[in-house]
């Protein structure tokens, strides 16, 4: 039997054997053994410097900020809702007030229409009453005349005025007796001493005769010799005396306006008869009775 033992080489003379490195022949098998089973959930420990922590912190901050924002928005919405409710309530109150005011306005309009109607009726009624009063006043003056522009005499009495009236009648050839005169008086005018003398006769015939006789007398005389104070032998400067029927307040105003109209529009004559005022453009035209100021306005329009 041959021995397999070998004598160890001598030191120094023995060459070193190179060491060879190679891959593990069982590496492939080991990798397969280390691959995890897909059916098994593996858990890993998080490292302290894992960036996932920072992400979670940011998300938490965002969540907190969103919750704060949402809370503030809810507060604003609640305040806005409260304001809207107040405005809605205010609008309802305004609407109620407007309805109330509208109703009151309608009531006022109705009242104004009623008052206007009553006012129109009252004006018409007043016109009727004024016409009736004027007619009554006219009848009461049916036998009266006015002696104008006669100065007041010293210690004037009713008897002295009666005598004055009788003297005028004698001058114009229309005798007047005491029994013809119902009353006589002078109307006092402020700051004037020659207010008209009102002579109220018992008969309208006497009044008309006196007026007609005065007109005839003056037509037959020169201007300076017409009926005047000198004719009556009264003291002072000579003044023309006018004899006319006594007019109501309304007729007196119409007579004045008619005279002004006659001068402005070249009407030939303006006179009164039985308390009525008349105008005539010329001798050919018919006379026009002036019943109101509207009549004069209509004449102005047609002239």
pLDDT at position 273 is 87
Quick one: 206 and 265 in the same domain? no
The predicted pLDDT at position 129 comes to 92
Please check whether residues 195 and 213 belong to one and the same domain. Answer: yes
Our count of domains for the chain comes to 3
- Answer yes or no: is 45 within a domain: no
* Per-residue confidence (pLDDT) for residue 215, from 0 to 100: 93
Same-domain check for residues 298 and 253: yes
DSSP string, 18-74: PPP----TTHHHHHHHHSPPTTS----PPPTT-THHHHHHHHHHHHHHHHHHHHHHH
Same domain, yes or no, for 124 and 84?
Answer: yes
Question: For residue 146, what is the domain's CATH number?
Answer: 3.30.70.1820
Residue 93 structural domain: 69-140
* Residue 10 placed within a domain: no
Instruction: State whether 150 and 225 are in the same domain.
Output: yes
Write down which residue in 246, 267, 288 finishes a domain.
246
Q: Do 163 and 131 share a domain, yes or no?
A: no
Is residue 106 located within the same domain as residue 192? no
Which pLDDT does position 42 carry in this prediction?
Answer: 54
Last residue within a domain, chosen from 246, 263, 285: 246
Is the residue at 22 inside a domain?
no
Using alpha carbons only, how large is the chain's radius of gyration in Å?
A: 66
Question: In 3D, which of 266, 290, 267 has the Cα closest to residue 277?
Answer: 290
- CA–CA distance, 161 with 256 (Å, rounded to integer): 27
Long-range own/partner contacts, residues 204-211 (CB < 8 A, 24 or more apart)? 204/142, 204/143, 206/143, 206/176, 206/180, 207/142, 207/143, 207/144, 207/145, 207/245, 209/174, 210/145, 210/168, 210/169, 210/172, 210/174, 210/176, 210/243, 211/145, 211/243, 211/244, 211/245
Q: How far is CA 80 from the centre of its chain?
A: 43
Residues 153, 134, single domain; the answer is: no
**Domain assignment present for 50:** no
Q: Are residues 228 and 270 in the same domain?
A: no
> pLDDT value at position 212?
94
* CA angle (190, 245, 231) in 5-degree steps: 75
The helix or strand, by DSSP H or E, that contains position 245, with its residue range, turns out to be strand 242-245
As a whole number of angstroms, the distance between CA 117 and CA 223 comes to: 56
Taking phi over 0 as left and psi of -120 to 50 as alpha, with beta for the rest, 129 belongs to alpha
Query: Distance between CA atoms of 202 and 181, rounded to whole angstroms?
Result: 6
Is residue 26, in this structure, part of any structural domain at all?
A: no
- Pair 95, 184 in one domain: no
Confidence (pLDDT) at 188: 85
Residue 220 lies in a domain: yes
What is the model's pLDDT at position 240? Answer: 93
The string of DSSP letters for 143-210 reads: TEEEEESPPPPTT--HHHHHHHHHHHHHHTT----GGGEEEEEE--BTTBS-PPEEEEES-HHHHHHH
Contacts of 299 (CB under 8 A, 6+ apart): 261, 265, 279, 288
Residue at 35 is within a domain: no
Which parts of the chain sit beneath pLDDT 70? 1-53
Phi, psi for residue 258 in degrees, rounded to 5: -65, -40
| pLDDT attached to residue 9 | 53
The predicted pLDDT at position 178 comes to: 93
Domain boundary among the residues 140, 163, 192 is at: 140
In three-state secondary structure terms, 283 is: coil
Tell me the whole-structure pTM to 2 decimals: 0.59
Same domain, residue pair 235 and 258: no
| Judgement on whether residues 158 and 225 belong to the same structural domain of the protein | yes
């Amino acid at each position: 039997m041959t021995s397999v033992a070998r004598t160890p080489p001598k030191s120094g003379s023995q060459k070193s054997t190179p060491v060879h490195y190679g891959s593990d022949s069982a590496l492939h098998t080991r990798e397969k053994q280390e691959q995890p089973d897909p059916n098994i959930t593996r858990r890993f420990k998080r490292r302290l410097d894992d960036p996932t922590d920072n992400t979670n912190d940011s998300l938490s901050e965002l969540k907190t900020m969103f919750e704060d924002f949402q809370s503030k928005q809810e507060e604003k919405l609640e305040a806005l809702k409260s304001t809207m409710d107040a405005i809605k309530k205010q609008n309802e109150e305004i609407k109620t007030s407007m309805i109330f005011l509208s109703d009151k306005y309608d009531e006022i309009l109705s009242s104004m229409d009623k008052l206007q109607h009553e006012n129109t009726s009252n004006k018409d009624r007043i016109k009727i009453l004024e016409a009736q009063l004027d007619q009554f006043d006219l009848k009461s003056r049916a036998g009266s005349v006015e002696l104008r522009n006669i100065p007041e005499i010293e210690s004037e009495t009713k008897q002295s005025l009666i005598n004055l009236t009788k003297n005028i009648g004698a001058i114009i050839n229309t005798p007047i007796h005491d029994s013809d005169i119902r009353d006589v008086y002078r109307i006092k005018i402020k700051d004037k001493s020659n207010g008209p003398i009102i002579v109220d006769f018992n008969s309208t015939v006497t009044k008309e005769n006196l007026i007609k006789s005065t007109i005839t007398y003056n037509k037959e005389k020169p201007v300076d010799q017409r009926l005047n104070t000198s004719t009556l032998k009264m003291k002072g400067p000579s003044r023309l005396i006018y004899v006319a029927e006594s007019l109501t307040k309304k007729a007196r105003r119409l007579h004045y306006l008619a005279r002004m109209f006659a001068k402005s529009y070249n009407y030939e004559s303006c006179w009164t008869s039985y308390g009525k005022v008349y105008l005539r453009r010329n001798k050919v035209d018919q006379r026009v009775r002036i019943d109101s100021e509207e009549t004069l306005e209509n004449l102005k329009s047609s002239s």
